[in-house]
Amino acid sequence: MNTFFPYFWAAVLGLSLLLYVLLDGFDLGVGILFGFARDEAARRHMLSAISPVWDGNETWLVIGGTVLWAAFPTAYALILSAFYLPICLMLCALILRGVAFEFRQRAGVHTRFVWDIGFTGGSFIATFVQGVVVGALVRGISVGADGRFPGGGALDWASPFAFLCGAGLCLGNALLGAGWLVLKSEDPLRERSYRIIPWLLAGVLIFLILAFLAALRMDLSVMHRWIERPWLEVFPLIGVLAVITIVFGVRRRRDSWPFAGAAAIFLAAFATLAASFLPYMVPFSLTILEAAAPMSSLSFIFWGAGIVVLPLTLMYTIIVYTVFKGKVGPSAEYP
Amino acid sequence: MSTELLTLLLSRIQFGFTVSFHIIFPAFTIGLAAWLVFLEGLHLATGRPVYRRLFDFWLRIFAVAFGLGVVSGIVLAFEFGTNWSELARRTGPIQGPLLAYETFTAFALEASFFGVLIFGRNRVPRWFYFIACLMVALGTTLSAFWIMVNNSWMQVPSGIHLAADGMFVPDNWRAIILSAVVWVRFPHMLLAAYVTSAFCIAATGAWYILQNRERTESRAMMRMGLGIAAVLVPVQMFFGHLNGEYVVRHQPSKMAAIEARWHDEKPASEVLFAWPDVENRRNRFAVTLPAPLGSLIDSDSLSAGEVGLESIPPENWPPVRIPFFAFRIMVGCGVVMLVLAWVGSWLALDDRLEARRWLLWATFLSFPLGFIATLTGWFTAEVGRQPWVVYGLLRTAQAATPFLAPRDVALTLLLFGGIYILIFSAGILYIYRLLRQGPLPTPIHPERTNPKRPLAVGGSDSQAGIGLDSSLS
């Protein structure tokens, strides 16, 4: 069996999910911070920093989902059905936060709070659930001999470790969001975001230490990878450099450093997980080659979507970010 | 009822509900996106401010409907895996790549350029803004294309073989994508969206004329809307007829249900209206046109034999009444739209339109017709395909996630139901408010300078034109 196509699509899946985690990560994070905004001016300012790009950001989740389905149908069917309740909850949360961008502009002063609650609550729940799913995948889910989820309870995924990961991702996204606000906004929002970053950074670090200790204690299969593959330790090193970048960025008020640092922490964490999962698609039960679709499917998407449309998509994503580059002022720009 | 059957029923209700909710918005935005391109193009070509005012007006409405379409569409991309994991696993090698092409070519395109459309007017050159309009319209159209390819494959599966483990393996993508079924169903959906939007535009125009406001815009909207519909509705009916031909050829059980035809007939009669009595396998209160009109309508022939439900095993029957009535409602809406569009356009030729209050009222009240026709058309196609999810090869009952508990599906159904009702009511209310508000006066400096625009970097407005504005113009 040709192994190039499955690994190519595993790489594209990784790229889509990484872009999703980074890009929607910052606008979900802004959504979480939105709940703590002081007044309507601050809320508008926060929204105008993400409104033009959030929709494109969220697309990477859908791209990741359909690439998973197209290239690894067994894994798609397995993961989505095994996480039935969390996925449905995440979809509802994404609906509420997605409509809020448009609806809060259209709502009257008295009903605006409904969409504000939906926006913050939706951002928070979607982030939390994503963290829970990643945590549950790290712990491993049971898979039958036929590559299907054997069923069990609807709450098989629930564990203290998974909930810890949910909380950790909320802190991480909030950090990323605060970094984005520093980068995109002007005072007073910029200054307030600067002040909250050290707290969020401390929270993220505490979470990472707790997760590491928990993984050691539970003797998770992930940890064996670290002994087998010592080069993985380069990623925590990148994480340390990223933390230093954020600390100095905040001290010297360098607007682009905190976001870059937070993104590097995410990158390091993502790369650590991806590298410790290899060669598994569903960790420690279904490998990339086992989960791969027939060659006729993989080559069909490779020659069109893979080498033509994907680069085009990346290109116009960059164009759109270029159109909206630079700081946005406190008043929302809206037709 | 066993737990499996209950779960299956709840999953079907959830999917039917979420997918029906979703299709309302694309049916509107596919057409509106094309309409926006048309208006922006007219404005670029003629420079008349009325087109710019209309563009800005419909863009605000487009934004609300587009947002609802996006969030309800994301749900569908995941629901295949959550509730229909066996379908997702077994047909993943076909449906996965088709939907991947949809997200890559359409979803990403429209989502990215939508931001430019809403927020970028003052940040990009005019030609780039026009391209952004084109990209959004192209995205919505491509989206419809891939969805119709995927759905057509489920209706008439081709180009595959079944592997030993039950997986559907594609052999011939050309047969899957370029099948004759796609090329009658994709235009049928696209035209449905255009006609739906045309009637919404005409209805808005008629509403303003009745209120005696927005004199220029209201006339332009009513004339253009009805004019577009007058051309497209007959074309749509022709494609509808072509759709019937594929159903006759490939899906005899659906055709027999649509026609409430119980026995084989050669040549066949045509039931205009009846109450299909499934238990006794006959029609009550039937109004029937004599043979060979049924053969003529279904097969373009005076002598063709048509299949009745009794020659099909009952376990392969769809629920007869839903496709039967849904189809008749769809055709009824089509006929009313045809009459309105033709009469209205005829009267518009010599400026008699505004004096006919009855026509204005009828046009105003016609705005739901396109939506109803689109929805009932989908009900006919999808319920008529039952009990199969992939016609003839995979039953809906075998496609569901095997281990789901009814309690879990009931919970998510309630959750989706509550949220959809909330966002649907709010969305309709906000669209209604925007329509009532009407087009706003043209901005004093229509291009480039916008007094509301924040001065981002530096102080002068020219410096604020960052990004493509300075690098491309």
Give the β-pairing of A286-287 and A280-282: antiparallel
C-alpha–C-alpha distance, residues B362 and B337, integer Å = 10
In order of A17, A133, A290, the CA distances from A285 in angstroms are: 20, 16, 10
Å between A205 CA and nearest CA of chain B = 33
Q: Domain for residue B469, yes or no?
A: yes
Taking alpha carbons only, the member of B259, B290, B260, B294 closest to residue B277 is: B260
DSSP codes joined into one string, B57-71: HHHHHHHHHHHHHHH
Q: Domain for residue B292, yes or no?
A: no
Q: Domain for residue B207, yes or no?
A: no
Q: Domain for residue B420, yes or no?
A: yes
ipTM: 0.88
- Which of A81, A103, A146, A318 to probe by mutation at the B interface, max B CB count within 10 Å? A81
Q: Which domain holds residue B450?
A: 1-179+405-473
DSSP codes joined into one string, B219-238: HHHHHHHHHHHHHHHHHHHH
Give the CA radius of gyration of chain A.
20
pLDDT 10s digits, A204-242: 999 998 988 888 887 777 777 777 778 878 888 898 999
**Is the pLDDT score of A170 beyond 70?**
yes
- Which of B91, B103, B116, B408 to probe by mutation at the A interface, max A CB count within 10 Å? B103
Q: Which of A69, A94, A151 sits opposite B96 (nearest CB)?
A: A69
Could you tell me if B63 and A102 are in contact, meaning their C-beta atoms sit under 8 angstroms apart? yes
> Percentage of chain B with pLDDT > 90?
50
Q: Domain for residue B431, yes or no?
A: yes
Taking alpha carbons only, the member of A77, A11, A70 closest to residue A299 is: A70
C-alpha–C-alpha distance, residues B392 and B158, integer Å = 11
Could A66 and B416 be called an inter-chain contact, meaning their C-beta atoms sit closer than 8 Å?
no
Nearest CA in chain A to B92: A73
C-alpha–C-alpha distance, residues A216 and B189, integer Å = 56
pLDDT 10s digits, B55-74: 999 999 999 999 898 889 88
C-alpha–C-alpha distance, residues B97 and B110, integer Å = 19
Residue B6: strand, helix, or coil: helix
Q: Domain for residue B32, yes or no?
A: yes
How far apart are the two ends of chain A, measured CA to CA in Å? 54
Å between A62 CA and nearest CA of chain B = 7
In order of A279, A333, B417, the CA distances from B16 in angstroms are: 38, 38, 12
Helices and strands (H, E) in chain B, number of each type: 17, 6
Give the β-pairing of B160-162 and B394-395: unpaired
C-alpha–C-alpha distance, residues B369 and A273, integer Å = 52
Could you tell me if B100 and A310 are in contact, meaning their C-beta atoms sit under 8 angstroms apart? no
Could B96 and A55 be called an inter-chain contact, meaning their C-beta atoms sit closer than 8 Å?
no
C-alpha–C-alpha distance, residues B265 and B142, integer Å = 41
Q: Domain for residue B146, yes or no?
A: yes
User: Domains (ranges, CATH) in chain A?
Assistant: 12-323 (1.20.1630.10)
Q: Which of A58, A85, A149 sits opposite B408 (nearest CB)?
A: A85
- Is it true that the peptide bond before A188 is cis, omega within 30 degrees of 0? yes
CB contacts of B63 in chain A (<8 Å) are 102, 335
Q: Domain for residue B344, yes or no?
A: no
In order of A75, B231, B234, B328, the CA distances from B342 in angstroms are: 53, 9, 10, 21
Taking alpha carbons only, the member of B243, B242, B271 closest to residue B256 is: B271
How confident is the model over B338-355, as a mean pLDDT? 85
CB contacts of A309 in chain B (<8 Å) are 101, 104-105
pLDDT 10s digits, A82-124: 888 999 999 999 999 999 988 988 888 888 899 999 999 999 9
Could B88 and A69 be called an inter-chain contact, meaning their C-beta atoms sit closer than 8 Å?
yes
**Is the pLDDT score of B442 beyond 70?**
no
Overall number of domains in chain B: 1
Could B60 and A335 be called an inter-chain contact, meaning their C-beta atoms sit closer than 8 Å?
yes
Q: How confident is the model at residue A147 (pLDDT cuts 50, 70, 90)?
A: low
